[in-house]
Amino acid sequence: MAKTNCPPSDKEGAEEHRQSRIATTVATTTATVAMTTAAAVGGGNSPQHRERLTWAKAARFLALPFAAARVDTFMRVKRFEEVSVDELVARGIEGILLDADGTLAPHHAREFDASVLNHVRAMLEKGLRVAIYTNAGEDRFQSFQKMGVKVARDLPAKPDPYGFRAAMTDFLQLRDPAKVCMIGDNYLTDGGAIDAGMHFIHVQPVRGDEPFLHSATRHFAYLCAEFYNRRAAQ
């Protein structure tokens, strides 16, 4: 039996409906988080504070639905190990900032798969400078440090642009943000690298035992990026 295609008008209607649902979800989540921001934000630079909803996170969160350029994506992959090292080098990348939780392993992991360690080693062997920049605890990356990976410390929480620039200059010893990639699972926090002039590679999150607010805001930011990506593809 011949396959029957939907009329173009039906396809267009379905796509409009899908985009409308995304827009509604974005608007609802924005309103919900906006009402709780004042109670959630605070001061300090401890891992406990950096994982909370800081002012920088709140400002970026509220801006994402209206700023397509702030979710501009250099590369999208399912797993960290799928990031092409050869492509990074070919495109002039010299430094890599790595998120940890949700990118290299589940939330607050202290052990990392051999495939992850080997991929980081491959980056180093190609001459890339690599540093881990996380909002969570920084005392669990000895296996990376033995390879020569720096762990960025005492910096503002992502997505503060100052934190990304300091990680670049102090831990990668680089000066040009256009030659640096941030690899992470979260457009809200890791995607702040875009605001600092860096490239952002999005990795699908490695699921783990993470706070609801973290998961919800990450999904919201992903929806914003997906919405703009689909609009650009039309």
In this predicted structure, the answer to whether residue 225 has a pLDDT above a threshold of 80 is yes
Instruction: Provide the domain count of the chain.
Output: 1
Residue 3 counted as domain residue? no
Residue 37 counted as domain residue? yes
Residue 95 counted as domain residue? yes
Residue 7 counted as domain residue? no
CATH number of the domain enclosing 76? 3.40.50.1000
List pLDDT tens digits, range 129-181.
999 999 987 789 999 999 999 999 999 999 999 999 999 999 999 999 999 99
Residue 5 counted as domain residue? no
Q: Rounded to an integer, what distance in angstroms lies between the CA atom of residue 229 and that of residue 218?
A: 16
Query: Which structural domain, as residue segments, surrounds residue 45?
Result: 12-233
Exposed/middle/buried for residue 24 (C-beta within 10 Å: 0-12, 13-18, 19+): exposed
Residue 6 counted as domain residue? no
Backbone angles phi, psi at 184, to 5 degrees: -160, 175
In this predicted structure, the answer to whether residue 17 has a pLDDT above a threshold of 80 is no
More confident residue, 109 or 48: 109
On average, the pLDDT of the chain sits at 86
Residue 1 counted as domain residue? no
Three-state SS string over the chain comes to CCCCCCCHHHHHHHHHHHHHHHHHHHHHHHHHHHHHHHHHCCCCCCHHHHCCCCHHHHHHHHHHHHCHHHHCCCEEECCHHHCCHHHHHHCCCCEEEECCECCCECCCCCCCCHHHHHHHHHHHHCCCEEEECCCCCCCCCHHHHCCCCEECCCCCCCCCHHHHHHHHHHHCCCCCHHHEEEEECCCCCHHHHHCCCCEEEEECCCCCCCCHHHHHHHHHHHHHHHHHHHHHHC
Q: Is the dihedral of CA 201, 181, 93, 127 positive or negative?
A: negative
List pLDDT tens digits, range 21-67.
655 555 444 444 443 443 444 445 655 566 677 899 999 999 999 99
The stretch 72-76 carries a mean pLDDT of 96
